[in-house]
Structure 1
Amino acid sequence: MGKHIIDITLSETKKQKPLSDQLEFGRVFTDHMFIADYTEGQGWSGHRIVPYAPIALDPAATVFHYGQSVFEGMKAYMGKDGKVLLFRPEENMRRMNQSCDRLCMPQFTEQSAIEALEELLVIDKEWIPTEEGTSLYIRPYMIATEPYLGVAPSKKYQFTIILSPVGSYYKEGIHPVKILVEDEYVRAVAGGTGMAKTAGNYASGLRAQEIADRKGYSQVLWLDGVERKYIEEVGSMNVFFKINGEVITPVLNGSILEGITRKSIIQLLKHWDIPVIERKISVEEIYEAHRAGTLEEAFGTGTAAVVSPIGELNWRDEQLVVNNGDIGSLSEKLYNELTGIQYGKIVDPFSWVVEVVEPAKA
């Protein structure tokens, strides 16, 4: 498939950019967005970059009634010498297509998506903040747009990419978070949509997160939906535990999202010859390791925080303090290494970073 021609309509007015110390996650958006449309039997068409604006949808659009919606989360970083850097964008687009497959939605080729993203980043490059720890959050998403109330896959879709400048996740420096183990509500089960990045998964987690907030905990640790004993994810992050020198993370089982940061952390640990294993791990095992003094560290991984150390777990109203509530040395090393690679500050031995190159001017 050849490269799609992207029609470009530049905004006639420029938005005022917020100061870097006033950036909130997902509140402010850049001047432009990318859109493409799909019709069954015709494929994708209308590839365009247009001024950021509301979109018009029919009230009967399938997305409103049957939830055909998938998305991704990634970032662009301002590296050395003004270079715009992406971190493993092909992995995000591959995962998006996996989500599309699960929800009976058409795929948008990884190459076409990355080409569209790079074109959009060149146009809105000045929106990428440059202060330490800041970045430009990238939200590609696809929704079903056919006006039809029958329970069936839509025949029309829209693929969009929007951009939002975000501040440092750790404004006061990296610090451990407190996690509440959830054993009443369920996020997903194997055979469901837990492995897909779809809107409904996040809506179903809001009640448990609300309870955690009220109790003073920043995230929820989800257990499996059948036996309610095996650990799956932390909020919107994958989770790791360092027990007696070995790093353990729940094995992907069809109900756990395949995190890009998770995958990168595992590769880094193997690169450092640190024992790391993917397997089922129960909350009881974590409890026993804590009692035995062998639970050395715990941390979540994801695009937003990269590495989020866990300082306390609350299970059945019992507080399990991890590493005296301090940052573990491995968590800190992983955070520094991965962010160093993402911002182009240190050598990238895995070729994870992609530089966005502006087209040569005629």
Structure 2
Amino acid sequence: MAVNHDVTGGPAQPESQNPGGITASGVSRSFGPVHAVEFMDFHAPAGKVTALIGPNGAGKTTLLLMLASLLAPDSGTISVGGLDPQHHRAEVRSRIGWMPDTLGVWDSLTAREILTQIARFYRLPVAGIAPRVSAMLDQVRLSDLADQPARVLSRGQQQRLSLARALIHDPSVLLLDEPASGLDPGSRVELRIMLRELAEAGKAIVVSSHVLSELDEIADGAVFVNRGRTVRQQTMDEAAASGRRYSISASDGTVLAAKLSELGLAFRIEDGRRPAVSLMLLNDDDAARLLRDLVLAGVGVSSFAPASGALEETYMNLEGERR
């Protein structure tokens, strides 16, 4: 049996061992002279949340459209639960829930009518459509607005309706493009909880977002892309093991700097509203030891926390390497 290899050189699991996931191997797509995606590899396993990360123009949306079977690749292969969308389009689409970054349809229809029509498109049993629609409206907290036209919904409410639309047929794969856009803080927390619950139920979830702090809270792994290519794939454990930058402030910055120098640690002074220093630490244990050493040395530490998330640290490192 052939074994695929990811861009870091490590062996990936054979697709047959990941029947519920979604995989792209060497996919490319051009629009005239523009090469939006070139030989990109991607894998999102069942039961996990996989973050898709990259700058604007990196090819994320084009990849998502191909994964959703809405855009055919010029070359390469895509597998959804072991099925090729080119040859099993109807079955593949029944397994995928697609949430674009805007709702984009039927502004004059009510939220209930939109979900009902989508349920009919997916050929859900007629008797079960009404209760399924009501359950989804309740899950995304839109029951009170169920009979209002979509055009009167706020950006955040439309995002919640779009999520319900993607989930109406209980797909095994969920593709989300900027799902937290427009959501208030409370709704963002609810979204994180919902996505973790869906992953724990066995769904393969792909989230594309620029808000890396949100992805830190929900993702099990990440695929980084740039200029149409995959540049890194890693689990959250691997991201955390790469270390991250911590920010430390104290009542007396001079004393803090002197102690860090005595400990042989390289640091830099950060300009900002609150004077602080930052330094790289390999893991949580190193951070705990440093905090203990500072406190025992009498340094008046007023704040000690990661300056960035694990995914943000990887992203910035990749940006630095690219430059």
Q: TM-score interval w.r.t. the shorter chain?
A: under 0.3
Higher RCO (CA-CA < 8 Å; seq separation 6+): 2
TM-score of the superposed pair, with normalisation by structure 1: 0.22
Scaled by the length of structure 2, the TM-score of the pair is 0.24
Q: Compare the two structures and name the one with the higher strand fraction.
A: 1
Q: Which has the higher helix share?
A: 2
